[in-house]
Chains A and B, each alone.
Chain A
Amino acid sequence: MNIDRTVDGVLRRYLLGTIDPKVREDVERRLFSDDKIFWEQMCLAEDELIDAYVSEDLDYEQRQSFEQRFLTTEDRRDKLTFARALKAHVEREGGGRSGSWHPLGRGLFVPSWAAAAATVLLVVLPGLTWQIARPGPARDDVTAWLSSGLVRSVGGELERLRLPPDSKLVRLRLEIDDTEHPIYRATMHLASGEEVWSQNNLNSTDIGGRQAVELTLPAELLREGDFYIRLRGVSPAKDPAVLDRYDFRVLREPR
């Protein structure tokens, strides 16, 4: 296993109680010194560890350590509650929309992959720019419906998503029964469970008489293989509720 030997990595292991005892002594000696910068790094590492837990960025062992060894003080439990509230607030305010939202000019925010895609279309491949002005989905877009319940563990057949070699954007329509939640959050995972993409602040819409939550993501994220999407319903001041799981297999068409 690779061990993160950066200061952040060491401090994270210290906080989780999984650090080598010799290194722990070094950390303690610096903790009980007048090194203000180290102390601030420690406090920062604590905040970021809590955020990682809230965002489900910790692996299974780290989560176990977090819950059993880290979360043992009132102050840390309060910080966890605060981190959850802050995350919910940011999501409500729209800061946590799809992908990386970064500023392009004043107050205008677009996802970074969209900016990158726009750059490719507008600058690198000028011959394709006509597609942007064309109404409706571009020629390279792929749209597919996914239904929940076709889970491999119960032997159901996986839904297949065929992607042409030039596809750039994929719209996945997740069919839902739930209409109780004002907004939704979707996370996409490899079959191994590793999260590869997420989108917040999604709304459900009626598409041709079917209720769905639509995700738009860059096709490059979908290499050939098995994936699943977990859909959560988000209501103000409540933890997100897990609703459905959508399993599918990506097949890349040859050039």
Chain B
Amino acid sequence: MTPPLHRRSLTAESWDALFDFLDPSRPKRRGRDRDAEAEGRFLEITRKLVYFFAGRGCRDSEDLAAETMLRVAGKCAALAGAGFSDPIAYVYGVARNVLHEWLREARTELTSRGSALKDPTLLSASDTEHRRNEEEHQCLETCMARLATGARRLILNYYGADKAAKITCHRELAEQFGKSLNALRIEVHRIRNTLRRCVLECMQHEVAGTAR
């Protein structure tokens, strides 16, 4: 199979073609936000590809997702005039081809070697990991403090409920915040994403600070 994305690179023209394919209105746009829509779609589709490959039992789903996008990018110039109205459906088709190739290769490989993969949850925690955990905890505290009071209270109460009473507690929280249970879940999910992004940024700063 073709080497994955990190072993090859896309030319500026290929990126342009890919972005135009993902956002057909991009060629008409100018200015700094010209690529924003296409970048957002690129990231979302790549994440969906990872779900797809992981759901099919592929261990290297991130590489396979990158490989799929690389192939799509390689075809974009040729597809430009074909008038594809649904880029994501096209990506799905390419992903299925990549999967079939991977399955063929995996079958061959399985006969020649056993699985050497370790269970990631059982890896012993090294000093580096402990340091990383410490940093993550500190960053989480900082980021929690930055949340609006209501959001912080919601997160603490939502995740504070023990399993025996979780359903009742979440229902009561939903009532208190004037939302349906499902709307509450989505709200918590969004706050959690904000929190996680904040923690990731904070940890990058910590790493940069240490390296300096």
- Would you give the shortest CB distance from A226 to chain B, in whole angstroms? 19
In the assembled complex, which residues on chain B have CB atoms less than 8 Å from the CB atom of A95? 156-157, 159-160
In the assembled complex, which residues on chain A have CB atoms less than 8 Å from the CB atom of B91? 32
Stretch at the interface among A40-48, A128-136, A176-184: A40-48
A97–B159 CA distance with the chains assembled, in angstroms: 11
A55-B163, A85-B137 given; A40·B155 CB < 8 A:
no
A31-B48, A67-B119, A77-B120 given; A99·B137 CB < 8 A:
no
* Contact residues on B (Cβ < 8 Å of other chain), bracket: 35 or more
In the assembled complex, which residues on chain B have CB atoms less than 8 Å from the CB atom of A39? 44, 48
A68 lies within 8 A of chain B by Cβ: yes
- Would you give the shortest CB distance from B153 to chain A, in whole angstroms? 8
- Would you give the shortest CB distance from A70 to chain B, in whole angstroms? 7
Q: Are B57 and A198 in touch, CB under 8 angstroms? A: no
A89–B91 CA distance with the chains assembled, in angstroms: 40
A74 lies within 8 A of chain B by Cβ: yes
Q: Are B55 and A237 in touch, CB under 8 angstroms? A: no
B97 lies within 8 A of chain A by Cβ: no
A31-B52, A44-B189, A86-B192 given; A74·B163 CB < 8 A:
no
Q: How many residues of A contact B (CB 8 A)?
A: 68
Q: Are A73 and B164 in touch, CB under 8 angstroms? A: no
A228 lies within 8 A of chain B by Cβ: no
Contact of B160 among A19, A47, A74, A101 (CB under 8 A): A101
In the assembled complex, which residues on chain B have CB atoms less than 8 Å from the CB atom of A237? 130, 133-134, 137
Interface residues of A in 39-83 (CB under 8 A from B): 39-40, 42-44, 47-48, 51, 55, 57, 67-77, 79-82
Q: Are A17 and B165 in touch, CB under 8 angstroms? A: no
Interface residues of B in 133-183 (CB under 8 A from A): 133-134, 136-137, 140-141, 144, 155-157, 159-166, 168-169, 172-173, 176
Q: Are B164 and A14 in touch, CB under 8 angstroms? A: no
Q: Are A102 and B172 in touch, CB under 8 angstroms? A: yes
A148 lies within 8 A of chain B by Cβ: no
Residue of B56, B160, B165 ringed by the most chain A CB atoms within 10 A: B160
A90 lies within 8 A of chain B by Cβ: yes
A20 lies within 8 A of chain B by Cβ: no
Q: Are A89 and B44 in touch, CB under 8 angstroms? A: no
Contact of A79 among B132, B164, B196 (CB under 8 A): B196
Q: Are A85 and B160 in touch, CB under 8 angstroms? A: no
Interface residues of A in 134-182 (CB under 8 A from B): none
Contact of B51 among A42, A55, A79, A111 (CB under 8 A): A42
Q: Are B176 and A198 in touch, CB under 8 angstroms? A: no
Q: Are B185 and A103 in touch, CB under 8 angstroms? A: no
Q: Are B172 and A90 in touch, CB under 8 angstroms? A: no
Q: Are B157 and A103 in touch, CB under 8 angstroms? A: yes
Q: Are B156 and A90 in touch, CB under 8 angstroms? A: yes
- Would you give the shortest CB distance from A82 to chain B, in whole angstroms? 5
Q: Are A32 and B52 in touch, CB under 8 angstroms? A: yes
Give me 16 A-to-B residue pairs in the complex whose CB atoms sit less than 8 angstroms apart, sorted by A's number.
A14-B55, A17-B57, A19-B55, A28-B55, A32-B48, A32-B88, A32-B92, A34-B88, A39-B48, A40-B189, A47-B189, A77-B120, A100-B165, A101-B160, A102-B169, A109-B157
